[in-house]
Each structure stands twice: as structure tokens, then as C-alpha cells.
Amino acid sequence: MLRHSLLRTSRALLAQHRLGTAAVACRSLSTKAAAHGHALSHADVDADPKTLDIIDKHAKYTLQTYGRPPVAFTHGKGSYLYDVGHREYLDFTAGIAVNALGHSDPEVARVLFDQAKQVVHLSNLYYNVPAGELAEQLIEGTVASGSFKATKIFFSNSGTEANEGALKFARKVAKVITGQQAGESKKFGVVSFNNGFHGRSMGALSATPNPKYQKPFWPLVPGFVHAPYNDVAAVDQYVTEETCAVIVEPIQGEGGINVATEAFLKKLRARCDQVGAMLIYDEIQCGLGRTGKLWAHQNFSADCVPDMLTMAKPLANGFPIGAIMITDKVAEKIVIGDHGTTFGGNPLGCAVASSVFRRINTPEFLDNVCKTGDHFREQLDSISSPLIKDVRSKGLILGMEFKVDPAPLVALARERGLLIITAANNTIRFVPPLNISKAEIDQGINILKEAIVAFEDRTLNVEA
């Protein structure tokens, strides 16, 4: 009885996702998919019994905090994913900018296997070899790249945890600078920016000024204020003597692919120096080669450097790991017992991250990101539609803003075998694997064009 009820619920949810009619044109199955003997098209995925069974299990046993489309993936290879019916999808999302080297990378798999045979977990009660090697790589690689003068690393399990740690460090630094303890000092304010995203835990959420995310969990952590992004004139008003930290994304991902101006980042750096606040760059989505530079802020002048930088998403190509990279100005104020983690810096994650970082941090790899990013941008610019408002990009983090909500376009693209995702301000976000080929980009753009035509037909006909 329960299963029948869940099945009806699942089918009802799936019906909400189905856009258009059965006549919607879809890409034919790939040669590999056809070889498995499956004839269902992408548009018919929600009629697949295997898909329905998986959705039933999730409906019954997992907390429903995500609005998922009716597709269940089993494996991937490079820039492609395959669902339970062996349908092939070109992936322009890369796990939300995570799978920098694509899916099922052989080298990543080998390192995971080799390290798992040695030791998986030790806790931070002891030293481990991979964590030390990764820390050296990140610090030395960052300094050698001409970025900021990083000296120390703290490892976490995610980007949210990294941001939480950075905010915590900033408050500790402020206490040391003022010589005042908790309850005495007024220097605990944190400035973040409109359309920014820093995570879902309470501190990171307090720095994420989205009422949809924040309101259900009020009251939030005190001391957070939200300023306009790229507004140089407003910086002095918001960043004051009571500010201990400013946290900002050099390129906002969730917020709609908004690129900071050099003048804005310069002003933040100067104002933080003036009032003794720590400048934190959240490069969780835009860093580690995504822009064609090792770090996104390196697209700006040397005056635009942080005191702390947080990273995560692509660092281990899908294995959970995050990190906070800090300067001596911060490190000198942090002592034993100030912060901790059970799993952060585990040997398995660090071994994989070392391998990934070695491959990303080469002139050849980063130069190729620039070239494919330019090609991707040219292809997006070539699309003509009355619904398109703007295109923004830096390397392989790109956004196409529409005049209307583009959520239906995501489904139309998926029905044709292309995975894309939305961001704020009616924007479609493109964050493919960093080693995606130009041919794969062209394939995806052709699918996108077809989907946009269908989106136009539906949207403009409704408006008419």
C-alpha cells in the first residue's frame, strides 16, 4: 500500500517536470547506449521503471530537500553521464564545478585505489604523509604562481566548512588585535555581498543574503551585514572599525556569474587594511583553474590579494575535501585547540587532491582552459534569441542571462541529452569539466540552440 502511494506521489512529481509534449524532438541515443538494447529517448526517461524505482526509494528513505529532475545516473566517463537506461548526457555542470577532470578519471581512480590499500583515515591526532604533501603543493604552487603570500593550510571536508573556519579565524584575529575577549570587543562584524553564496551551515548561511535560504532559520549569527556587490562607493559605509572580516567571491557563481571589477577588489583590500579586517576570498567555485588562472583573483592586479582563501569543489575531482589557505597575519593568531575536524585532511582525500592539483597547476592545462573558455564564449555569443539578455564569463565559468525564468530551458536541454543548471537572476550557468574538448562544446551548443528554439516557441506563444 505504501509503495503504491509512493509510486503515485513519484509519478505526480515527475509530471511537474515533464515539459512539452511527446512530440518534442530529442537526440537519438548514443552508439554505446544503443548497444545495450535500450530504445527509450531522453524525453521518456520518467517512464523508465528503473528510474521510477530509484525515485521511490529516495521518496521513502531520504529527506526531500532537493528538487530533482526525473533522472538517475549510474556512471560517467569524461564529459558524459549515463542514466539507468544507458542514455548518454553531455554534462555542462560537472557536479556544480566539481569534476574538473571529468567523470571516472582513470588517474583519480588509480590514486583512490592505491591509497585505500595503504590507509584511509587516521584522524588529526597523528601526522599523515598525503596531507603534508598536499599542503606543500598548495602553498608553494600558490606563491610560485604570483598569487598572495600564503603560508599555512587548514583542511576541511567541504567549501562550507572552509568558509566557517575562515570566519572563525577572522574573529579570533580580531580578538588578538584588540586585546579584548568575547563579550568585550565590538570588532566581530562580517561583511558579505548581495547575490553571494557561501554555504548552508549557520555561519556561512548568515553570510549568504538570500531570504529563501535564510528566513526559515532566523535568527542567524549576529554581526553579519550585506553590501552591494561591485559598489566601490559603498565599501567605506559597510566596512568599518567594527568589521573583522569581509568575505567575497571574485566571481559569483550561484549569484549569476557576476565578475568583480578590479576597482572593487582593490577598494576592499585597501579598506580592510585601513580598519584591520581580514579579506577572505571564497574561490570554492571560481578557483583552481576554472578561469584559466590558478586562482580567480589572479585575473586582477597584484593589489587584489586576500588574507585568506577558501577552496573545495574541484580540489579532489569529486572526493570531499576543502581547505583554508592563510597568510602569516592570520596563522600567527591561531593556536592549538582553536579549530579542529575529525575527517579533514584525511589521507585518501589528500592523496587524490595532490594528483588533481599537479595536473591542473601546469601552464599547458591552464592555457587550454583559456582557449576552450574563449571558444565556449564565442559559441554562446553566436546564439541569437529575443529571450537572451546578456552573456558573462571568465574562462570556463560562464553565464547566459535571460529576460524570463530559464528553468524550463534546463528541462528542454536535458530532454535532448544536455545537462545545464540555473543560477540567480534568470541565468543559466555553464561550468563543464576543465578538460572538455572544443568538439564537446560544439556538440553541447548545438543541443542548446535546439532547446532555446523550443523555449522560445513555448514562451513567446504564451506571451502572445
Strands 322-326, 152-156: pairing is: antiparallel
Predicted pLDDT of residue 463: 60
Residues 380 and 435 in one domain: yes
pLDDT at 151 over 80: yes
Residues 228 and 289 in one domain: yes
Per-residue pLDDT of 152-171, as tens digits, reads 999 999 999 999 999 999 99
pLDDT at 37 over 70: no
Range of the domain at 440: 362-464
pLDDT at 23 over 60: no
Predicted pLDDT of residue 38: 43
Residues 393 and 298 in one domain: no
**Cα–Cα distance between 156 and 111 in angstroms, integer?**
20
**Cα–Cα distance between 73 and 289 in angstroms, integer?**
27
Q: What band does 175 get if pLDDT is binned at 50, 70 and 90?
A: very high
Predicted pLDDT of residue 440: 99
Percent share of the chain, pLDDT over 70: 89
pLDDT at 341 over 80: yes
Beta bridge partners of 258: 252
Q: What band does 83 get if pLDDT is binned at 50, 70 and 90?
A: very high
Residues 160 and 271 in one domain: yes
Predicted pLDDT of residue 464: 55
Q: Work out the average pLDDT over 416-425.
A: 98
Cβ neighbours around 412 below 10 Å, total = 27
Asked if the bond preceding 219 is cis, omega within 30° of 0, the reply is yes
Q: Work out the average pLDDT over 47-59.
A: 91
Residues 307 and 440 in one domain: no
We report the CATH number of the domain holding residue 205 as: 3.40.640.10
Domain contains 369: yes
Q: What band does 19 get if pLDDT is binned at 50, 70 and 90?
A: very low
Residues 309 and 258 in one domain: yes
Q: What band does 46 get if pLDDT is binned at 50, 70 and 90?
A: low
Q: Which amino acid would we find at residue 41?
A: S
> Considering the chain, what is the average pLDDT of its residues?
92
Residues 425 and 415 in one domain: yes
Total structural domains within the chain? 2
We report the CATH number of the domain holding residue 373 as: 3.90.1150.10
**Cα–Cα distance between 70 and 17 in angstroms, integer?**
7
Residues 333 and 411 in one domain: no
Per-residue pLDDT of 117-143, as tens digits, reads 999 999 999 999 999 999 999 999 999
Beta bridge partners of 401: 390, 427
- Domain boundary pick from 360, 379, 400: 360
Residues 395 and 349 in one domain: no
Residue pair 311/100 in contact (Cβ under 8 Å)? The answer is no
Residues 260 and 340 in one domain: yes
Q: What band does 180 get if pLDDT is binned at 50, 70 and 90?
A: confident
Closest CA to 255 of 322, 167, 193: 193
Predicted pLDDT of residue 185: 83
Predicted pLDDT of residue 182: 64
Note the pTM of the prediction, 2 decimals.
0.90
- Domain boundary pick from 335, 360, 385: 360
Closest CA to 384 of 456, 439, 459, 440: 456
Predicted pLDDT of residue 20: 36
pLDDT at 295 over 50: yes
Closest CA to 243 of 214, 209, 200, 207: 207
Per-residue pLDDT of 56-70, as tens digits, reads 999 999 999 999 999
Predicted pLDDT of residue 181: 73
- Domain boundary pick from 360, 391, 418: 360
Domain contains 95: no
pLDDT at 7 over 80: no
Predicted pLDDT of residue 21: 32
